[in-house]
Amino acid sequence: MTPHILLVEDEVRIAQLVELELSDAGYQVNIAHDGQVGLELAQSIHPDAIVLDWTLPRMTGLEICQQLRVSGNSVPIVFATAIDDPPHRQAAMAAGANAYVVKPYSISDLMETLTVQLPIGTGV
């Protein structure tokens, strides 16, 4: 079974690059460019993991994470954000995130987070 990733990223060029790299690595990828759509997709398509930016239109990544956890959704959530400060990292982890990577990150770091730190399937 192909692991399914939901990428919630408002910067289109970044989203396209990450989608291409993850797809080439064997992941199925859906993209949302705003927070509200990201939350709706997370609830409807049931991805194996979510890669989530913090700063998004209509709803922040933190709000998405909080709402998913309050509703009992335990999907692994990796924050991939340019915000590199301890209070944001602590807030993400307190809200239920599984990992936090800072932009600019390497695709290999993101894939390692998805496959090693958050085992979501085999064959990737």
CATH 3.40.50.2300 correct for 4-98: yes
pLDDT of residue 124: 43
The residue assigned the tokens 């079974």 is 1
What is the block-wise mean pLDDT of the chain (124 residues), using blocks of 10 residues?
Answer: 92 96 94 98 96 97 98 95 95 96 91 72 44
> What's phi and psi for 123, nearest 5 deg?
90, 5
**SS3 state of residue 115:** helix
Q: pLDDT at position 2, please?
A: 84
Secondary structure of residue 48 in the 3-state scheme: coil
Tell me how far apart the alpha carbons of residues 117 and 91 are, in angstroms, rounded to a whole number. 20
pLDDT of res. 117:
56
What local confidence, expressed as pLDDT, does residue 113 receive? 87
Domains in the chain: boundaries: 4-98
Maximal C-alpha separation, the chain? 37
